[in-house]
Chain A
Amino acid sequence: MPRSSLRARLVGLLADWSLALPLIAVAGVMLVTPMLAMIVASVTTDDGTFTLDNWTKTYRALSAQRAVLNTLGLAATVATIALVVGAPLSWVVSRLTRLNRAMHIGILNVATNFSGIGLGFAYVATLGAFGMVTLLMRRVGLEASPPPQASFWGLVMAYEYSNVPLFVLLSLPAMSLLRDEWWEAAQTAAATRLQFWRHIGWPILRPFLLADWLLIFTWSAGMYGVPVALEGDRPAAFRLVTVEMYRSLFGSLFGERRMPVFAVSLMALAILSLLAYRGITRSGNRWLT
């Protein structure tokens, strides 16, 4: 009796998970094992003993410290600009009429997907030495040339291309939370637009916009395709963690253990970010039932 009921329970358990098992298996293996492997690799030597040497060696190098600071600085700048430009844009799009809105969302969608290598090329074609906009600017008389692609501002511009639209798309649902009725009620209470945004609009949106800032920050820190395309073979250029990872594999850097260390660093940043994100959105929802 006990044996058959145990078997029945196991069969029941299997049935409960059955249709989900293939997905869990594939996603689990392809996503979780590399993470674990990276963590292990970052704290072991070649013969498998536990060590923290990899971490100390990597971060003792000035280039690594530079890379981390640059990455954080770049990501923060990109996220902030995305917020400042993207939030008003998101609000405008959320208030468009149906057809108009769908069209604009489509365009934004395209921009977010265009964040890979293709963007690198388009960037050169537009703002490179002989790019379209560069030529236009010279024609019009503006002698200032766009920032070179491997510099801080060049990278910021390239990142913003897909990150501003991404911010807009991420924050659109939050914009829907802001009911038009509140603006009408504020008007009947004699508030100006500024007073509305200061007392009602911004306090309500703030947590969601900050959460989205965090998402863009994390996403930018981990971006790979664009920076590698723009500066992959120029070691002296603006160092970034993901590009360092690329170099450690395809270039000539000492100690292959740098790569797992960087990888785990990025993972740690991401996990911290995710926890902060959860906390912020939960507090943002507290007034909205």
Chain B
Amino acid sequence: MADLTSQAFAAVEAPLAPSRRLGRWRAAMPRGGLFAALLLAAAVLYILVPMLAVLLYSVATRWTANILPDGYTLAHWADGFADARFRTVLGRSLGLAVATAVLDILLVAPACYWQRVRNPRIRPILELLAAIPFAVPIAVIAFGLLQVSGQIVPALQGTPWLLLPAHMAVAFSFVYWSIDASMAAAGVVGLTEAARTCGAGLGATIFRVIVPNVGPGLASGAILAFGVSFNEIALVQILAGDRFETVPLYTLNLLKSTDADFNVLAVMTAVSFAITLLLSAGVVFLNRSVVDKRRAKA
């Protein structure tokens, strides 16, 4: 009981000094006082400033000497979306990312479920495979795939059909951890047993009992997979090159070229940043109760 009390009240603890004027202000400060607040503010600023710069760049008319642009315009955004290359690139990235996310869910969720409910020996293998994209740099995997595919299926090089399974493989770790945690929290073993005693078959169990209970985990995993695929450069550049230009590759190409329209590039970067922002918000939203549970137990 004391635990819960101190937890609940720690957030609104009053200051030690009797000064009442500063009291309310101090109560809103994070633990650690002024130093902590400054650190937090500095971090947030550090993260947001480059994004702000990009956003301003995308709506600026001229911008050379002053801190802020000379004038604002939406012309660049219009130009960007009018450009066929721009649209194709964006469409490709979105399509690839969605495909990666959906297929990863379809592949990972059954494996996770089966590991928990039927065969625990699957786990070490999945964990090992999931660790690979983290331990081994993706660039290494990319070059390796180039080598192997060149010898076995050279026709696929440069097409999205090689890229898609590659993205699925490097993104699956996030999907796996998200779904695994979600299934653990939901207690799928207990749910399955209960469903069986009610007479449900495998299909009914999965679609009517398991999926509704691990929904947030599935969605969160899908979002993470989407994010990985959308932002991925090494595999795209090395396996597909300019034959399948995605957003990151487009960005790189424009950065390297001498006569590119940087304003349009800013638009593309701003779009990709906005998408990343939405994805992150989605993940945090879906996982908000997880963070709380951990604090409550502590």
Contacts and interface: CB of A to CB of B under 8 A. Distances in A.
Are A and B part of the same complex?
yes
Given A122-B53, A221-B137, A184 B231 contact: no
A132 B126 contact: no
Interface residues of A, number: 101
A179 B36 CA distance: 19
A18 B114 contact: yes
Contacts of A98: 288, 291-292
B251 A92 contact: no
A19 B54 CA distance: 45
A273 B134 CA distance: 11
Given A101-B291, A107-B44, A32 B119 contact: no
B44 A104 contact: yes
Contacts of A18: 114
Nearest to A40: B147
Interface string B211-242: 00000000000000001000111100010000
Nearest to B250: A117
Contact of A31 (B121, B132, B297): B132
B140 A263 contact: yes
A34 B145 contact: yes
Interface string B46-59: 11111111101100
Contacts of B3: 181
Interface string A11-26: 0000111111011101
Contacts of B67: 132, 135-136, 139
A242 B115 CA distance: 36
Given A126-B53, A266-B136, A24 B129 contact: yes
B interface bracket (residues with beta carbon within 8 Å of A): 35 or more
B30 interface: yes
Interface stretch (A57-65, A205-213, A228-236): A228-236
The secondary-structure label for the interface of chain A is helix
A260 B145 CA distance: 12
Interface stretch (A2-10, A108-116, A279-287): A108-116
Contacts of B297: 176
A119 interface: yes
Contact of A32 (B30, B132, B256): B132
B268 to A, nearest CB: 8
A30 B168 contact: yes
A34 B141 contact: yes
A34 B148 contact: yes
Nearest to B168: A26
B233 A100 contact: no
Contacts of B194: none
B6 A184 contact: yes
B207 to A, nearest CB: 14
A118 B273 contact: yes
A38 B66 CA distance: 50
A96 interface: yes
24 contacts: A19-B118, A20-B111, A22-B111, A26-B172, A30-B169, A31-B132, A92-B31, A95-B30, A107-B47, A109-B280, A111-B47, A114-B273, A117-B255, A121-B255, A122-B50, A122-B51, A125-B54, A130-B63, A136-B67, A161-B50, A222-B139, A249-B238, A266-B139, A273-B135
Interface of B: 3, 6-7, 10-11, 30-32, 36, 39-40, 43-44, 46-54, 56-57, 63-67, 107-108, 110-111, 113-115, 118-119, 121-122, 125-126, 129, 131-148, 165-166, 168-170, 172, 227, 231-234, 238, 247-249, 251-252, 255-256, 265-266, 269, 272-273, 276-277, 279-281, 283-285, 288, 291-292, 294-295, 297-298
Interface of A: 15-20, 22-24, 26-35, 37-38, 41, 88-89, 91-98, 100-102, 104-111, 113-126, 130-133, 135-136, 139, 161, 164-165, 172-173, 176-181, 184, 215, 218-219, 221-225, 228-229, 232-233, 242, 245-246, 249, 259-260, 263, 266-267, 270-271, 273-274
